[in-house]
Amino acid sequence: MNFLSTFVTFQNLHEVRRLCHWGPVIALSVIAICSTMAILDSIIWYWPLDTTGGSINFIMLLNWSVLILYNYFNAMFVGPGYIPLGWKPENQQDTQYLQYCRVCQGYKSPRSHHCRKCNRCVMKMDHHCPWINNCCGHLNHAYFTSFLLLAPMGCSHAAIIFIMTMYTQLYERISFGWSTVKIDMSAVRQFQPLMPFSVPAFAATLFALGLALGTTIAVGMLFFIQMKVILRNKTSIESWIEEKAKDRIQHYQTGEDFTFPYDLGTRWLNFKQVFTWSGTPKGDGIEWPVHPKCHQHTLTIEQLKQKADKRVRSVQYRAVEDYNGACCPISKGLQTFFRTPCTEEPRIPLNKGDTILATRGTKWWMYGDKVLNEEHITVGERVRGWFPRRCVEKCHYDTAASDSTSVKKVN
């Protein structure tokens, strides 16, 4: 019972509905197709169970499937952890450093952010992932990252099985016009397969191979992105906050020395904040260990400065390239194609000359509002969504003389 309780944790029965979404349906379908085809190809055509190597291969395939599903369902159902509704800090004076969430009717603790999809304030929110139909945050960050590691490893193993199956079954049938390619298969143990390798079997194996290779590349890149922020003890949102902090300091020439508060100094210490032997990350999701030069509210104070900064100046970008709103635009470069945000938030098409007010982003993508009414930028109609960073360039700031004074009031 203890094993079953740790395998999947349901906060309530409504959590099961997370499966009824296109993200989990596609993800579980890919896992089922690759796992099933790899097992069938192994025991029927490639490496039967009556050999030692075949038995080890079969056990490894089952091991990948179990570990992938274990971490996937935990990432989905354990969830990121949510700030209690109506939460307030124990010290009431700390409320001046925190933002208030009108939806949750409480204050946002350090590192938490409100997710419009989950409709809750999420502990240490990184992003909302459509593939698990849940947020990636404090409690499930390790499970989510482990899934991103295991899925490419399992798919790589499956891809080898698919390739070797077609190699061993088709080596006598491969021909190119007048010549026949003969491959020496003397090193391969010959056996009588349970059924002939027919055209449907070849088509199914080839289809599964495409899924396995695509998953290995796409999910593998996501794994490296996640490990990059974990080793710095950041989230994707905090990386954007840090970037805006440096931009604000440079623009106003305040002379501040911004230090990211949650980087503990070494990658190993940062790594242990997320990955533990028990599977439960360190901390309660409210208070965090910080850099010696910082305190609990260093980053929240910076957020308040940036929020006040928005009221006195507009961070505007001007579109320099057309963009049709595609989710993965190959024409904008391979990095933009492969590092498209894994979110259900929309993409906004751009035309040269459009004005965009960016609020956050990554190295290759940005998120913000496209202004539809240029005459009234502050109150005009807008369209919100993601767009490639290479399609825009930063405009000059319209800053009043008292801007720096207004921003410095928040300290």
Could you tell me if 233 and 264 are in contact, meaning their C-beta atoms sit under 8 angstroms apart? yes
Name beta bridge partners: 386: 347, 367
Residues 6+ positions from 274 with CB-CB distance below 8 Å: 141, 142, 145, 230, 281
Active-site option among 104, 129, 155, 391:
129
Residues in the chain: 411
Distance, in Å, from the CA atom of 28 to the CA atom of 369, rounded to the nearest integer, reads 34
3-class DSSP assignment, residue 317: strand
Residues 6+ positions from 378 with CB-CB distance below 8 Å: 314
In the residue annotation, 129 being an active-site residue is answered as: yes
Give the alpha-carbon dihedral of 300, 132, 231, 391, to 10 degrees: -70
Distance, in Å, from the CA atom of 144 to the CA atom of 180, rounded to the nearest integer, reads 48
Paired tokens of 45: 């055509």
Distance, in Å, from the CA atom of 61 to the CA atom of 110, rounded to the nearest integer, reads 42
Q: Beta strands of 112-174 (E only): which ranges?
A: 113-115, 120-122, 127-129, 134-136
**Which residue's structure tokens are 């508060």?**
261
Residues 97, 100, 102: CA angle, nearest 5 degrees: 175
DSSP secondary structure letters along 5-19: HHH---SSGGGGGGG
Q: Catalytic residue positions?
A: 129
